[in-house]
Structure 1
């Protein structure tokens, strides 16, 4: 399988932007959405436990992950990867002027584990064909008569 992409026109932010104001860039075309229930059922089927057990474990994992992140800890979830908070703040000229209200809302950062990092280098890409569906009026817009 390959990851599908299409070319989209975007503003050129490179050094040649004066000569070439727009360029075409690759953009992923997402495939089918895998919902939580489908994902849980597939994990359950391939691991020998029921989907209810998988749901319970994932729910508990979420609770524990939140608890540790709230204490400023980094949490490694096996080969899946590591979660941690990152923060930013407004700057001050001297330390006495700093107040915690200057800290922006934390963001959760995820660093993929080895399996997810490895698969990134193994991905192949396929350009999505731009064929129009002639039977249905040639596109995704309704035909107005």
Structure 2
């Protein structure tokens, strides 16, 4: 993976500017490309694999909306997280006080181990 050097100011002291490494995004892989790559690793057709991916895209949000975490094996786990305004008495709380609902991905140990082996090189 390539990285580039960029200058950034220190948020606490804007006069301090330093150079930092940042990952270079080499583009986005599409669902179609992923399906084509999986075809090469399996006995399934691209249509079968595309159907499985589409079904996964359909069912994962359902589980998350039911308050369940979704374990995707050696890839990792998805779960819902949010914050809320605080109240002195729980009877004062209303659901509209919940803010920042988001999906959190926690990579598996296997994925973390694979990423640790990444070879980095300068894009310059």
TM-score (norm 1): 0.78
What is the CA RMSD across the aligned residues, in angstroms? 1.7
C-alpha distance after superposition, 1:87-107 (max 9, x if no partner) = 111122221221111012421
Show structure 1 runs of 5+ residues with no match: 130-145
Q: Distance in 1 between matches of 2:121 and 2:58?
A: 39
Deviations 1:108-134 (A, max 9, x none): 1111123211122111211111xxxxx
Q: Name 2:35's counterpart in structure 1.
A: 40
Q: Which has the larger radius of gyration?
A: 1
Give the structure 2 partner of residue 113 of structure 1: 108
Structure 2: runs of 5 or more not aligned: none
Bigger strand fraction: 2
Q: CA–CA distance in 2 between the matches of 1:27 and 1:125?
A: 11
Deviation at residue 54 of structure 1 after TM alignment: 0.6
**Are residue 96 (structure 1) and residue 94 (structure 2) matched?**
no
Is 1:126 aligned with 2:95? no
| Matched residue count | 124
- Could you tell me the TM-score, scaled by structure 2's length? 0.90
Cα distance in 2 for partners of 1:126, 1:94 equals 55
Displacement of 1:68: 0.9
Checking the alignment, whether the CA contact within 8 Å between 1:45 and 1:51 is kept in structure 2 is: no
